[in-house]
A and B are shown apart, each in its own frame.
Chain A
Amino acid sequence: MQLVRSEEQELIRASALDWLAANYTFERRKGSLRKDGGSPAVWRAFAELGWLGLHLPEEWGGSAASLVEQGILANAMGRHLVVEPWLGCLAATRLLAAAGTTEQGRDWLPGAVRGKSRVILAHQEATSCRDPSAGLDTRLHRGPNGWRLSGSKRAVVGASWAARWVVSARLGDEERASLCLVDPLARGVHVDAYETPDGACAADIQLDEVAIAEGDLLGGHDTDQSPVLRLVAAESAVAACWRALGTMQTAVELSVSHVQQRQQFGKPLAHFQAVQHKVAEMTVQVVEAEAACELAAMRIERARGTDAEWASASEAAASATSKISRAARYVSQEAVQLHGAMGVCEEFPIASIFRTLLMFRAAAGGSAVPAQQYGQSVLRSSSFSISATLT
């Protein structure tokens, strides 16, 4: 067992934070806000830094980084409230590499790694937000004139920026899942675009009998993509937790420096015990959240290649999401509280942090859904009664 991060992992963290501190300050971040896909220059830089292919196998120009390393990068992005649609792109390219044919990979992955071709996963649905175990409502069926895709997808960050979506769907009435490459400009696609609370752009997507060529089904129509889809959804949820962790860490740092500087009754706020205990509770939440993120990533890595791979991954992701989601609410609210009236002004970073964490929770299904899901899952698997680290 390795209890500490490797040198390479520390290096990823330090170099990511260095770049972001220099190039993604709160002021410069404004250039990325309310734009489809954020800032093109930032996206090009991500490509040059190797951040778009970090997780991909080397044959696709990636560096085959583990989930811990991806998490470390997501964490750095979270610290700087990055709004570019990195997570959705990561999931889509991961699926292309794992589930697509060589040809599909060749068509999209080299371009995606270089920041040229823009692909995004469209997976979340209205019911799946409330009940992750519910099947997909989006259906792929074969009509007289080939494959047709119908259904709707929710809150796809970067949807309007993407050249292709990877859309998850149920194959006919079966439990099997398919993954389709969909052109946003195709006939039958309706996009309801909006800004998100953190300043990114997203859309709800309506798919109405959209024609899908056989060559746009990842891995062809014979393969059930449900295991890899569940696995990638879990990995993506864990990466989102790492990103939220970074945002919480910034929230605590800003709150600590605020209570040290701000004087009332002739003393810094940090002098008052009520304030000290809030800072302590926030610190505890963030330390635990970090542990939850590390553990989830390592649990998924440990299950790689086993029969229980996606099931363990879903369980690990639910555990972390439950933890981070509760922490996100506490930390974001108390950070605003400690900032006093400044905390409720849009112009200060703390308001952006609050709204970024709100986004995370909305995507994660709040606190109750992941906890409920995890509770049922551990009862089924009895994993609550064995060590989470030593299995």
Chain B
Amino acid sequence: MNLRLFAEEFLFRSEVKAFLREHLTQELRQGQERTTSMYPDPAISIPWQRVLAARGWLVPLWPKEWGGTGWSSIQRFIFETECALAGAPVVHPMGTRLVGPLLLRFGTQTQKRFYLPRILSSEDYWCQGFSEPNAGSDLAALQLRARTDGDHYVLDGTKLWTTHAHHANRMFALVRTRSDGDRQAGISMLLIDMTLPGITVHPIITIGGDHDVNEVHFDGVRVPKSERVGEENEGWECAKYLLEFERGAGIFSPRLRAQLRRVVDASAAGFSGDLGRRLGEIVADLDAFEWLELRTLGRLAPGDRPGADASLLKLRASRLRQAIGELGVDGIGTAAMRWRGSSADTSSVAEWLVPDYCNSRAYTIFGGVSEIQLGLIARAALHR
């Protein structure tokens, strides 16, 4: 066990740095910098995704024959670290990190051949239809009904907290195809064209004042059965697989460190007294987390499921993200009272820092609330 980079890892790192110097424009960097929510607008992420795709670096998690990179986990980590520290836009994960692996695991050849290239080319922009008004942590309680009508399903119901549904042209969704018997055994996974008649998207403004999430209504929407992933009533398997991916396939620590750097740069008051202690604790936490994340990645063979480790990483990353946000608002003192200035010329750090802090409260809620993660960690610890 040691931290010395092998020559090829060192070379790869230089290659990534050179690539970023050449292709990461000031405009893209600024776009990411002004993002106070989880993901930048497609106007920022898509141009960057095209640059990455042209270099063959957009989908490291996919197998090589579908456009993947064939990187080792250390290479992936190096790549994510350099991108985050350079301030590159966050890649929208719905297609690249969720739908891609989902189809690769459960999709038909036709589905793979149709959808995977469209993710690579950023032609399709995906959103995730999981949560519903009465199905949050208890996801299996979902009720969006998919009634069979010939070779179509007819969808009626509502999806909630749907991130970037207002940008997306496609949704992957869990729907109820059977109402009797075991709740989990009546769920199917569908790929839905967002332009179909009967779909309406209503904005929800977040605690940070951003339009990120939406309420999506389905009113007699007809989806061909060929758009189902996996067998009918076996969508829960897909969901479990994806939830683990959502928690575990990400590499969080580089973005956390980039955020910490912004917060420290923004703080006018400096870090004396209690703020100094908190900064020390956060950096110490981040150091340990970074190694833990890298070590966990390195121990996963391709295709392995991260299991309870994913819960642990998600829990800690979300708490760290919040601690960094808190340090930021406390560090700028009364400047945090400026929500929005009268003009762009007078804009202050508070205008991204405060909304960002507000939005960061969502990190311990989405992708499975902390209490759910603790339950999963406990189950593994207690061998039950």
Contacts and interface: CB of A to CB of B under 8 A. Distances in A.
A371 B290 contact: no
A162 to B, nearest CB: 33
A310 B264 CA distance: 25
Interface in A361-391: 367-368, 370-379, 384-391
B290 A387 contact: yes
Query: Interface residues of B: mostly helix, strand, loop or mixed?
Result: helix
B11 interface: no
B301 interface: no
A374 B85 contact: no
Interface stretch (A48-56, A112-120, A278-286): A278-286
A281 B284 contact: no
B4 interface: yes
Contacts of A295: 287-288, 290-291
Contacts of A287: 292, 312
Contact of A276 (B2, B280, B297, B375): B375
A276 B298 contact: no
Nearest to B381: A283
A350 interface: no
B284 A371 contact: yes
Contacts of B4: 1-2, 302
B372 to A, nearest CB: 11
Nearest to A292: B288
Contacts of B168: none
Contact of A389 (B264, B294, B384): B294
Interface string A1-20: 11111100100000000000
Contact of A390 (B73, B78, B382): B78
Nearest to B264: A384
B275 to A, nearest CB: 8
A153 interface: no
A270 interface: yes
A279 B382 contact: yes
Nearest to B265: A385
Interface stretch (B99-107, B254-262, B343-351): B254-262
A260 interface: yes
Interface stretch (A21-29, A30-38, A134-142, A319-327): A319-327
Contacts of B271: 375-376, 379
Contacts of A66: 2
Contact of A372 (B74, B277, B371, B377): B277
Contacts of B253: 387
Contacts of B257: 384-387
B69 to A, nearest CB: 18
B79 to A, nearest CB: 11
A224 interface: no
Indicate the member of B253, B289, B381 with the most A CB atoms within 10 Å.
B381
Nearest to B81: A387
A6 B253 CA distance: 25
A317 to B, nearest CB: 11
Contacts of A5: 1
A371 B1 contact: no
B231 interface: no
Contacts of A386: 85, 257
Nearest to A383: B283
Contacts of B278: 371, 375
A378 B289 CA distance: 17
Nearest to A377: B280
Nearest to A289: B288
A238 B101 CA distance: 41
A232 interface: no
Given A2-B1, A291-B288, A322 B280 contact: yes
A3 B374 contact: no
B1 A294 contact: yes
B384 A270 contact: yes
B29 interface: no
B333 interface: no
A234 interface: no
Contacts of A371: 277-278, 280-281, 284
Given A1-B6, A287-B312, A301-B3, 15 more contacts: A256-B382, A270-B382, A276-B382, A280-B377, A283-B377, A291-B295, A319-B283, A320-B284, A322-B284, A370-B280, A379-B264, A384-B257, A384-B283, A385-B260, A389-B77
6 contacts: A1-B4, A4-B1, A291-B291, A294-B295, A320-B284, A390-B3
Interface of A: 1-6, 9, 66, 68, 252, 256, 259-260, 270, 273, 276-277, 279-281, 283-284, 287-289, 291-292, 294-295, 298-299, 301-302, 318-320, 322-323, 326, 367-368, 370-379, 384-391
